Amino acid sequence: MNNLAPKENWDRAYREAPEIFDAFSRAEDSDGQVARRLLSYVSLPGRTVLELGCGTGRYTRELAPRAGLYLGVEPSPSMLLLARKAFVDLPHSPVLMRARGQALPLRTGSVDVMLAAWVLVNLR
């Protein structure tokens, strides 16, 4: 048994085991309510959507096909690698970028809708 606090275990899974992180995020919203709820509030067709902290693409996969342009930003290379593998079969693939929220490679005003699930609780 390890002696790490829950937060340290979560951080370690994020850094070293994106598959574990992905399994936890899928279990947290196993029936896809988050994406459905978001879609009930905002229309995505023709709009540019930014998902800050897209991780393994849990919400990206559900929302990207409905947007005009879908941008996913994630600082973790291992998370992005797993996300890219998940989108090979989508006809309208999202644009995934490695970046931090503090330094987005985007022009001001270029995004219509932003999603930041999981991000705000982890800001330091």
Residue 1 resides in a domain: no
Residues 81-98 have a mean pLDDT of 84
How far apart CA 72 and CA 7 sit, in angstroms, is: 24
Gyration radius from the chain CA atoms: 15
Query: Which pLDDT band, with edges at 50, 70 and 90, does 109 fall under?
Result: very high
Domain that holds residue 117: 6-122
Position 2 scores a pLDDT of: 62
Chain CA centroid to CA 18, Å = 12
Domain count, the chain: 1
* pLDDT at residue 120 in the model: 62
Closest CA to 51 of 123, 116, 121: 116
Beta bridge partners of 48: 69
Question: Is residue 53 within 8 Å of 73, Cβ to Cβ?
Answer: yes
Question: What's the CATH number where 52 sits?
Answer: 3.40.50.150
Give the pLDDT of residue 19: 79
